Chain A
């Protein structure tokens, strides 16, 4: 009995501070264990290998930063600066780049439906699941050296605190103080590595409340929707900078997604 108590105490001590108090920790663990998230990786694989677009080629030669065709660890090393486009790109933005350059698809066509729903997830969501799955076990090492990578981090950090929109919110309105809840959901302080690490290590993810797969592009878009702003453009500098800020804050975490969220 003492041994059991001891190991439980140890588990608690190892859990991130904000997760310790979570009354939903057991629920979250159980849903993660019984998650259908692997299905999305499986369908994503089919789409990755499917010949598409005017050039009728697959995405198998896509260069996600580790060289053409290399998937292992690619997601965990993003976002980063890409010389060929002279900008900072995250996993999804880079996938779009490959759809356009390799498959010859137009941005409009490839992004016709960036966010899906439960009855019809989007191609991008499936592909993100497949790509991210190849980074399990890799340390998260987003780009931090190139001036544009540094600028993206600084912009994201600043955007995190900007009060804007019809209702005057900033990201910190919800994610700035430890121990707060929106409705019944605990709110992680995302500028704090101890909260950002477990979170970013499990995005993209199957989201129980949407019953489908969701990505970071969606997550940030959806936060702004609830902040009552206009819509941030998919893959824009603003969204990618925010992703960069969160990922750099989480850097060093071992990627273990795609995850399962409430």
Chain B
């Protein structure tokens, strides 16, 4: 961001917060191995959800065909009781794992994100519930890839 914009934004709060939140940086967990995996199988191994069973209780709402892979809205809901996490993977992306969310008491296992897709691919969603992994997939066609632009 340039200096001009910097000056115009509501930054005072954010900057003060940055100082306060530094400890958070040290604490925050980010599964390097899973995100660096070049296949979804490896990514799922790193997430500890390698052998997931297919489930019709995981709903993936997304367009069948995306005009531009730079933004592909994907909405995921798990109706499996006791779902504690949802991971979203785009099989054919250079790094398939897009995001993983942990849901604690007070949150419902639902999330909507915009993902980049390099090409037409299956989108795989893996849910954890009661210590077991479940999964569902949906193909999304992409007419213009969205990783490089």
Contact = CB atoms under 8 A, between A and B. Distances in A.
A209 B66 CA distance: 12
Given A30-B73, A31-B73, A46-B9, A185 B67 contact: yes
Contact of B73 (A24, A34, A123, A184): A34
Interface stretch (B41-49, B57-65, B128-136): B57-65
Contact of B8 (A46, A184, A262): A46
Contacts of B68: 208-209, 262
A232 B49 CA distance: 57
A231 interface: no
Interface string B1-12: 110110111100
Nearest to A260: B71
Interface in A103-153: 120, 123
A27 B5 contact: no
A211 B68 CA distance: 10
B133 to A, nearest CB: 27
Majority SS at the chain B contact face: loop
B91 to A, nearest CB: 19
A28 interface: yes
Interface string A35-74: 0000000010011001000000000000000000000000
Nearest to A46: B8
A185 B64 CA distance: 16
A50 B4 CA distance: 11
Given A31-B73, A185-B67, A43 B2 contact: no
Contact of B67 (A33, A46, A184): A184
B70 interface: yes
Contact of B62 (A28, A30, A47, A120): A30
A27 B8 contact: no
B73 A33 contact: yes
Contact of A211 (B5, B9, B63, B70): B70
A172 B122 CA distance: 39
Interface residues of A, number: 21
B143 interface: yes
A33 B68 CA distance: 15
B141 to A, nearest CB: 9
B73 A28 contact: no
Nearest to B114: A34
Contacts of A177: none
Nearest to A22: B67
A26 interface: yes
B140 to A, nearest CB: 9
A120 B8 CA distance: 13
A120 to B, nearest CB: 6
B115 to A, nearest CB: 10
B63 A120 contact: no
B15 to A, nearest CB: 15
Nearest to B69: A208
A194 B71 CA distance: 27
5 tightest A-B CB contacts, nearest first: A27-B63, A30-B73, A34-B73, A184-B143, A24-B67
Given A26-B64, A34-B114, A184-B143, 10 more contacts: A24-B63, A24-B66, A28-B67, A34-B73, A34-B112, A46-B10, A47-B8, A50-B8, A209-B144, A262-B68
Interface of A: 23-24, 26-28, 30-31, 33-34, 43, 46-47, 50, 120, 123, 184-185, 208-209, 211, 262
28 contacts: A24-B66, A24-B67, A26-B64, A26-B65, A27-B65, A27-B67, A30-B63, A30-B73, A31-B71, A33-B73, A34-B71, A46-B8, A46-B9, A50-B8, A120-B2, A120-B5, A123-B4, A184-B143, A184-B144, A208-B67, A208-B68, A208-B70, A208-B71, A209-B68, A209-B144, A211-B149, A262-B67, A262-B68
